[in-house]
Amino acid sequence: MVLLQGDLCALGRKESAMRFPVVIYQEETGGFSIVCPSLPGCHSQGETLDEALSNIREAIELCLEVMEEDGIPLPMAKEPMITSVEIERRAKVS
């Protein structure tokens, strides 16, 4: 989970924190890709895990800022359900 500290005092609201789950993928070529399932289209990357987490925090903050500006209700952060499925593959016969 990524914890965001919002400076809501300037908006006349009490400061609050929001938690958003993120999914991290280690890339084969190096670095990390990271996505926030609660905010479709909100993703980032970084060479290190710390950089990826810092970048996704910024991406989430920007997504929330745009949503507020556009009058879109902020989403409730949802815990993703992650599982695996098994796929049987047959060898191709020429």
Q: pLDDT-based confidence at 9, cuts 50/70/90? A: very low
In angstroms, rounded to a whole number, what is the distance separating the alpha carbons of residues 56 and 38?
Answer: 12
Q: Is pLDDT larger for residue 29 or for residue 91?
A: 29
Q: Is pLDDT larger for residue 79 or for residue 88?
A: 88
Domain residue extents for the chain: 22-73
Query: In this predicted structure, what is the pLDDT of residue 14?
Result: 54
Query: In this predicted structure, what is the pLDDT of residue 5?
Result: 46
Question: Which CATH architecture best describes the domain 22-73?
Answer: 2-Layer Sandwich (3.30)
Give tens-digit pLDDT for 23-80.
999 999 999 999 999 998 999 999 999 999 999 999 999 999 999 999 999 888 878 7
